[in-house]
Amino acid sequence: MADHCLLSPWIRRFLLEHLIGERNLSRNTQQSYRDALRQLLPFAANQRKKSIDRLHVDDLSADLVRAFLAHLENARRCSIRTRNQRLATIHALARFIGERSPEHVHWLGQIRTVPFKRYEKNVLPYLEKEEMDALLAAPDQSTRQGQRDYAILLFLYNSGARVSEAVRVSIEDVQADPTGSGTVKLHGKGQKVRFCPLWRKTMRELSVLAEDRSTTGTLFLNRSGQALTRFGIHTLVERHVQFAVKQVPSLKAKRISPHTIRHTTATHLLRAGVDINTIRCWLGHVSLETTNVYAETDLTVKARALAACDPGTETSAKKKWRDDPSLMSFLRSL
C-alpha cells in the first residue's frame, strides 16, 4: 500500500504509459511535461525534507503547488504563460492518478482547485515588408554558410513553418513540380501533416543544400554536418537581425525570433488578400480563432475594412478575387 502511495511510480507510468502509450503525444510535448516535473520534484522534495524517490502523492498538496507556482514567477522569473503550462502538467498528472486510484480522488479535487492565472496577451510581433527584405539580405551569400542561412530564412518566410517543423524537414519532404515551384511536407503539432507551396527561388536555394545528398537526410545541417536544432535556428536569426538592424533601424525596437517570421508570413498573406481559412490551413492551426488574431492585430487590414465602410466614400462595383490579376499572380507564385 505504501508503494502505491509513492509518487515516483505514478510519474513513471504517467510519462511512459499515458503520454506515450495512450495519448501518443509528440516528442516536443513529452519533453514539455518532463521539464515541468524536473522543476516540480526538486522543489517538492526540498519543501518536504525528503528525497525525491520517497515523496508520496499526498506530499504534492494544493498548497505546495501554489508555492511552486509562486516560486516560478518570483524566483525563476517565469512568465504567466509558462506558469500556466506547468500547472497544466500538474493537473494532467493528478487526473491520471485520480482516475486510477480511488483513494486519491479527494486529493485530485484539491489539486484541481488551483486555478490558472489570467494574463494580458501580447500583440503578435511581425515584420514590415522592408524589414523582412533586410533580414533576407543579411546573410553573405558568397559563403557556403551564408547560402545556407539565406535558404533557411527564405524557407521560414515562404512556408510560415514553426521552427520545430523546419528542423524536421528531410530532403524527400521537398518535392519540385514541372514549373520549378514545389511543395514541402511539414510535420506539425499533434503529428498532423500538411503541405505548403514553395516559390521557385525557394526551391532553387533548397536544391543547392540538398545537392549530392541522400534524400532521407535532414535538409538543414549545421557546420558539423549534423541536423540543425531549434536553438541553432534561433541563434541564426538573432545573428542576422544584428546586421539587418544597421540597414533598417526600426528592427531594433522588435524582439525577432523564428516565430516572428511565422507571424510575418501570416500577416503578409492576409494583406495580399488571402482568406483567413486558407491561412489557417497554411499555418497548421486547428482552430480558426487562433488565426483570427492576425486580422485583429494588423492595422493595415483594419484600415482597409474601415475605408470600405466609410459612408462618405463612393464605392464602385468590386471585382471578385478570381478576377484580380495581381492577386492571382501572387497566388501562382507561391
How does pLDDT run along the chain (334 residues), one tens digit per residue? 446 799 999 999 999 989 988 888 878 788 899 999 999 999 999 999 999 999 999 999 999 999 999 999 999 999 999 999 999 999 999 999 999 999 999 999 999 999 999 977 666 788 999 999 999 999 999 999 999 999 999 999 999 999 999 999 999 999 999 999 999 999 988 778 999 999 999 999 999 999 989 989 999 999 999 999 999 999 999 999 999 999 999 999 998 999 999 999 988 988 888 888 888 888 888 766 667 666 655 555 545 544 544 455 454 455 554 555 565 565 555 5
Specify whether 262 is catalytic: yes
Give the SS3 label for residue 218.
Answer: strand
What is the 8-class DSSP label of residue 269? H
Closest CA to 168 of 75, 115, 230: 230
Same domain, 136 and 86: no
Shared domain check, 220 and 292: yes
Of 86, 168, 187, 285, which one is the catalytic site residue?
A: 285
In a domain, 118, yes or no: no
Whether 166 maps to a domain, the answer reads yes
- Active site residue: 50, 66, 71, 259, which one? 259
Does residue 229 share a domain with residue 140?
A: yes
Going by their DSSP bridges, the two strands 193-198 and 182-187 should be labelled as: antiparallel
Tell me whether residue 294 is one of the annotated catalytic residues: yes
The total domain count for the chain is 2
Q: Which of 262, 263, 268, 280 is catalytic?
A: 262
83 and 136 together in one domain: no
Separation in Å, CA 73 to CA 68, 78, 93, 290: 9, 5, 21, 26
234 within a domain of the structure (yes/no)? yes
- Its domain, for residue 84, covers 2-111
For residue 119, what pLDDT is reported?
79
Domain edge (last residue) among 76, 111, 146: 111
Instruction: Examine the domain organization and report whether 102 and 143 are in the same domain.
Output: no
DSSP three-state, residue 227: strand
All residues at 6 or more sequence positions from 117 whose CB lies less than 8 Å from its CB, including other chains: 80, 83, 84
Same domain, yes or no: 157 and 236: yes
Domain final residue, candidates 83, 111, 139: 111
Cell of 231: 536553438
Confidence (pLDDT) at 323: 58
Known catalytic residue: 118? no
Tell me, yes or no, if 162 is annotated catalytic: yes
Considering the domain architecture, whether residues 305 and 218 belong to the same structural domain is answered as: yes
Indicate if 98 and 240 belong to the same structural domain. no
Q: What is the pLDDT of residue 123?
A: 64
Question: Catalytic residue among 71, 185, 189, 230, which?
Answer: 189
Edge to edge, the sheet with strand 174-176 lists: 174-176, 182-187, 193-198
Residue in 18, 104, 148, 162 annotated catalytic: 162
Please check whether residue 133 is in contact with residue 242, taking contact to mean a CB–CB distance below 8 angstroms.
no
pTM: 0.67
